[in-house]
Structure 1
Amino acid sequence: MASPMSNVEEIRNRVVLGEFGVNNVHTTNFPGNYPGYDDAWDMRNFQENFRIDVVNTGDDSIEFDMVGIDAAMANAFRRILLAEVPTMAIEKVFIYNNTSIVQDEVLAHRLGLIPIKADPRLFEYRNTGEDDADGEGSEIDTIQLQLKINCYRNPKASKDSSDPQELYVNHMVYSRDIKWVPIGNQADVFADASIGPVHSDILIAKLRPGQELDIIMHCVKGIGKDHAKFSPVATASYRLLPEISLLESVEGEKAERLKNCFSRGVIELQDVDGRKVAKVVNSRLDTCSREVLRHEDLKNSVRIKRLRDHFIFSVESTGILAPDVLVTEAIKILMAKCQRFLNEIDSGEIK
């Protein structure tokens, strides 16, 4: 029989998914909310238990685990990824000529949302004071891009053709048509950098013969909480690590149904003396489905839980910075916030 202390520890460290609700959910994990259980915060215990495990990395995404932290810290890290890691994005659009059917303001908005491949760590924030009244910027805080293109009829097109791809030249304006125009010494400083749109196939506008675009764009450094165009991630999310336990042996046809109640790979069937027996293979793959609780003869055979301090992070970059760089930069920002808070305490600003 489980001791009272182990029951409290179970409540403190697990979230249980019940048939009609979620148990053991509290608005805070602050120490002292669980009577009879000593969960006072201790630096040594935190250092021993906290870890980051990188599970999977790719060119545009990364999956990693943060273990041994509070939900508030996990969410703070997620929000920093979304809104406080700086990037370069188009801020000012100077339209000298636009004879397309796309209105100037709509075109400017579309251009602003195109992710720009440029390392923001190599640039300064743009001065928005009186010194920037002319809007020119400089080589240390501005990237200048140009879109100059016109559409005309293809002289080699067949007379019987009705395909715009054959009839017209430059009738589809893509992000690859945007060119970088170096300012000052940028051509030398960023000689090895391919500054420009991250993706070359983003459709900007459609033209017909006689229509043209002549646009100059200024990219500046900013953060997502000022405008979504500066956000460096397509998605940044986390979920609690699933923990699935079988409370009794499940065999035969019941085992087949149990397997089908979960995501593929969570439960597999093993052959034991000619009998098919269900076994939990990889709880991590579970997607929080409670399908099994709809089966009267199965719902008491399994328990679905989540580890309260084990967070599975999934970060997908827009391509401006590599996902591992984004995570590193977010950690630096979080550390700077903590240091700033400590400095305010030491200076007496916070009592």
Structure 2
Amino acid sequence: MAPLVPSHEELQRRRIIGINAETVTNIPSTDFPGHWPGESHGWATDQFKKDFQVEFHSNDQFEASFSLIGLDAAVANAFRRILMAEIPTLAIEYVYVHNNTSVIQDEVLAQRLGLVPLKGSVEGINWMHWFRKPSEDDEGAEANTPSDFNTVVLRLEVECTVNPDAAADEQDPRKRYNNAHVYAKDIVFVPVGRQEQYFVDEGAIQSTNPDILIAKLRPGQKIEMELHCVKGIGADHAKFSPVATATYRLLPDIQIERPIIGEDAKKFANCFPKGVIGLESVTSEEAARRGSGYEGHAGEQKAVVKDPFKDTVSRECLRHEEFQGKVKLGRVRDHFIFNVESTGQFDSDVLFLESVKVLKLKCAQWKRGLTDLMA
């Protein structure tokens, strides 16, 4: 029996996940991306290139929004998980406290320092090796000792003193004292060995945000610490994650099935975020067309879908009786709108390219393993 050839209308229907007042419909998964029982959906590179699209909506240094169109949810979710958990960065792992007379306990202060996002030369981070803390069972513990290629050293040395130039009635501690607040900018990078070649000038290891508040001091209090940074991934600890957020959502789909006119059109527009639904005047041609639903309403305002991208799919319009049977809500199952916010180590658009590299490496490793298995 020859495989079925679905119509264009059927293919479009499959792309839409139905959003109802209480339920979600048309959500079945298939055995593998693009497959449909009884039909021929063999993989074709040329067809994938034709269907797949990337659209950028915004691309700032630390935040980017873009759409991946024509992918399966499994692939889109793989990119999201890689962004969060498998792109290596540097973070403070070991804190050596020489002196801490602040009111913050050593372990709490160490935890705060560990969560300070750092940035530096990407070339230098790629050059660095992984550091593994030696255990009691390790015979070759010397191979895991800190070195210039696996550990970055930072120092935090701050002492609070009275500002002799402050006014007698000054109440602001930042003016009354010197170093009353300890910020991330007070952390100093101490390059050793070959790090002087890789982490220089703007590529030096530093906090992505110099104004992160670490502690508050008063005269007589002092913090002296040595901080060791190592290379890690978010799967080990969230402090290594290069993204603050990495999310995606499906493109909303809004279909007006029957005309919504006059005051109902204004109410309908208010059911959505601003800019999703627009109001247009009914033309004389539409009013004269039989069966259009606009007969006798020339010049009145009608509701039209303007920009579904801005919709949050709140389903508010489905709660009103006057809109029953007039509108269908849905989401496009293969249109993923990503929003990536970088912590500062990588530019936001570079992050996605890094996730592609990781996925390609995983595929290559899997392919080699499969080849060895078949040998």
TM-score by length of structure 2 reads 0.86
From the superposition, tell whether residues 306 and 148 of structure 1 become closer, same or farther in structure 2 (CA, over 3 Å).
same
1:222-301 to structure 2, matched below 5 A, reads 222-272=232-282, 273-301=298-326
**Amino acid of the residue matched to residue 264 of structure 2?**
K
Closer, same or farther: CA 337–62 of 1 in aligned 2, 3 Å: same
Distance between the aligned counterparts of 1:14 and 1:210, measured in 2? 66
SS in structure 2 at match of 1:307: strand
Query: What residue in structure 2 maps to residue 342 of structure 1?
Result: 367
1:34 shift after superposition: 5.0
Q: Which residue of 1 aligns with 2:290?
A: none
1:94 corresponds to which residue? 96
Shift of 1:220: 1.0
Question: 1: CA distance between counterparts of 2:119 and 2:34?
Answer: 48
Q: Contact 1:232–1:318 at 8 Å: present in 2 too?
A: yes
Q: CA deviation at 1:32?
A: 8.9
Deviates more, 1:257-266 or 1:156-165: 156-165
Asked whether the 8 Å contact 2:279–2:301 carries over to 1, the reply is yes
Question: Residue 237 of structure 1 contacts residue 315 of structure 1 at CA under 8 Å; is this kept in 2?
Answer: yes
1:68-83 equivalences in 2 (<5 Å): 68-83=70-85
Change (3 A) 1:14 1:41: farther
**Counterpart contact for 2:159–2:223, Cα < 8 Å:** yes
- Compared CA separation, residues 97 and 31, structure 1 to 2 (3 A): closer
* Structure 2 counterpart SS, 1:289: coil
Amino acid at match of 1:288: V
2:287 aligns with none
CA RMSD of aligned residues (A): 2.3
After TM superposition, the structure 1 stretch with the greater mean CA deviation from structure 2, 193-202 or 126-135, is: 126-135
Structure 1: gaps spanning 5 or more residues = none
Q: Within 2, Cα distance between the matches of 1:163 and 1:348?
A: 70
Deviations 1:98-139 (A, max 9, x none): 001111111111000000112222422225445666976222
The Cα of 1:25 is off from its aligned counterpart by 1.4
Structure 2 unaligned regions, length at least 5: 283-297
Letter in 2 for 1:17: I
Q: CA deviation at 1:9?
A: 3.2
1:69-98 CA-partner distances (Å, limit 9, x unpaired) = 111111111000000000011111111000
Structure 1 partner of 2:292: none
The answer on 1:163 being equivalent to 2:172 is yes
| CA shift in 2, pair 1:147/1:308, >3 Å | same
In structure 2, do the counterparts of structure 1 residues 135 and 114 end up closer, same or farther at CA, with 3 Å as the change threshold?
farther
CA deviation after TM superposition for structure 1 residue 45, in Å: 2.5
Q: What is the CA–CA distance in structure 1 between the aligned matches of 2:34 and 2:176, rounded to whole Å?
A: 74
2:148 corresponding residue in structure 1 = 139
The Cα of 1:156 is off from its aligned counterpart by 2.0
Amino acid at match of 1:268: G
Moved more, 84-93 or 53-62: 53-62
**Counterpart contact for 1:77–1:331, Cα < 8 Å:** yes
Partner of 1:126: 131
Per-residue deviation, 1:31: 6.1
The letter of the residue matching 1:117 is: K
1:260-318 CA-partner distances (Å, limit 9, x unpaired): 11111111001234211111111111111100001111131111111111111110001
1:203 equivalent in structure 2: 213
Q: In 2, distance between residues paired with 1:112 and 1:175?
A: 11
Letter in 1 for 2:221: Q
Contact 1:64 1:312 in 2 (8 A): yes
Contact 1:8 1:34 (C-alpha < 8 Å) held by counterparts: no
Contact 2:30 2:36 in 1 (8 A): no
With over 3 angstroms needed to count, the CA separation of the structure-2 counterparts of 1:21 and 1:15, relative to structure 1, is same
Aligned residues: 348
- State whether residues 146 and 216 of structure 1, in contact with CA within 8 Å, keep that contact through their aligned partners in structure 2: yes
Amino acid at match of 1:150: E
* Equivalent residue number for residue 303 of structure 1: 328
Select 1:109's aligned residue among 97, 108, 111.
111
| Percent identical residues | 44
